[in-house]
């Protein structure tokens, strides 16, 4: 890829990450925070601290993320964490910036949870689509997975969100607030899948990964991401060099995470993500969705 083409690609990536950060910040300021909904993660913790102490949500989230950034850089390298730092900082600045405008919706809590989830999912989907992350529980999950590989990244994120939601019931003194947070997370997750993979109701995704580091990526996918793979041998048609092709079947909501993890470990990997209408075998059933 030419330098000018690479520069354009990076510009588009960061533009979409900035747009995603703005949409996510709007979901917090306009819908979730004004209605005492704390839908998981570091932003959820910052929302609760704002309720208890009156501290700014964005600034508090950034402070909570700083030690996680350092931990992530130590565990995975500075290159892995750079887009996460950029996205998280943008989100924090924009949350406090939009909050100063005083625009918010306070009314039907179900509507606040649904539309807050839609906006947050759309924003996060744009960030994930361009290889970014908002830090927080994603970093915690990846690092803990390295220490305790029998726990998948997804299960650690789920446990983290459950803990935050449970805390929100205590902080706000209402079980209903926790249930609204569950609704927001559910809607957000569905919207993330729609943004990253489209609106098709398919059964799964198949990743075809062509790489010069097949063993390293195989260990990473099977260990850190807790997904099975099939490894094939291949030869580059132009270069003639020996390569590996990794076949990895995943659920739709896992595909973007596996893709980003692969690119973090091997920037030269060539990845094709395609729809798998039916997947049968260990870890899957014919009708999962």
Tell me the CA distances in angstroms from 215 to 102, 220, 227, 229, 245, one per residue in order.
53, 9, 14, 11, 10
pLDDT score of 288: 40
pTM for the model stands at 0.70
Cα 246–Cα 122–Cα 135 angle in degrees, nearest 5: 65
Tell me the CA distances in angstroms from 173 to 32, 57, 87, 233, one per residue in order.
16, 20, 32, 58
Cα 239 from Cα 25, distance rounded (Å): 46
Q: Give 84-115 pLDDT, tens digit per residue.
A: 888 899 999 999 999 989 889 998 999 999 99
Topology classification of domain 204-276: Alpha-Beta Plaits (3.30.70)
pLDDT score of 172: 93
Residue 141 · residue 38 · CB < 8 Å: no
Q: Give 125-182 pLDDT, tens digit per residue.
A: 888 777 677 777 777 777 776 666 655 555 677 788 889 999 999 999 999 999 999 9
pLDDT score of 267: 84
Average pLDDT rounded to a whole number, residues 178-192: 91
Q: Give 229-250 pLDDT, tens digit per residue.
A: 989 988 888 777 889 999 998 8
Cα 85 from Cα 174, distance rounded (Å): 33
Residue 146 · residue 71 · CB < 8 Å: no
In the chain, domain spans: 3-197, 204-276
Sign of torsion, CA 80 86 89 95?
negative
Using only the alpha carbons of the chain, give its radius of gyration: 20
């Amino acid at each position: 890829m030419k330098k000018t083409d690479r520069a354009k690609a990076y510009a588009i990536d960061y533009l979409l990450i900035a747009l995603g950060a703005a949409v996510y910040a709007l979901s917090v300021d306009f819908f979730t925070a004004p209605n005492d909904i704390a839908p998981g993660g570091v932003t959820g913790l910052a929302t609760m601290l704002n309720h208890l102490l009156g501290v700014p949500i964005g600034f508090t989230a950034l402070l909570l993320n700083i030690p996680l950034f350092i931990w992530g850089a130590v565990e995975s390298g500075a290159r892995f964490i750079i887009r996460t730092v950029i996205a998280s900082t943008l989100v924090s600045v924009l949350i406090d910036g939009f909050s100063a405008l005083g625009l918010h919706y306070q009314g039907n809590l179900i509507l606040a949870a649904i539309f807050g989830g839609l906006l947050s999912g759309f924003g996060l989907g744009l960030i994930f689509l361009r290889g970014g992350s908002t830090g927080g529980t994603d970093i915690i999950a990846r690092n803990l997975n390295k220490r305790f590989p029998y726990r998948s990244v997804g299960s650690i994120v789920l446990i983290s969100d459950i803990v935050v939601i449970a805390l929100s019931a205590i902080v706000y003194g209402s079980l209903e607030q926790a249930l609204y947070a569950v609704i927001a997370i559910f809607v957000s997750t569905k919207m993330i899948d729609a943004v990253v993979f489209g609106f098709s109701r398919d059964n799964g995704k198949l990743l075809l990964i062509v790489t010069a580091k097949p063993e390293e990526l195989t260990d990473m996918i099977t260990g850190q991401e807790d997904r099975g793979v099939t490894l094939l041998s291949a030869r580059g048609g132009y270069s003639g060099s020996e390569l590996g092709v990794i076949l990895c079947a995943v659920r739709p909501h896992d595909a973007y995470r596996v893709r980003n993890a692969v690119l973090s470990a091997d920037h030269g990997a060539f990845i094709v993500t395609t729809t798998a209408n039916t997947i049968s075998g260990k870890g899957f059933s014919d009708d999962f969705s």
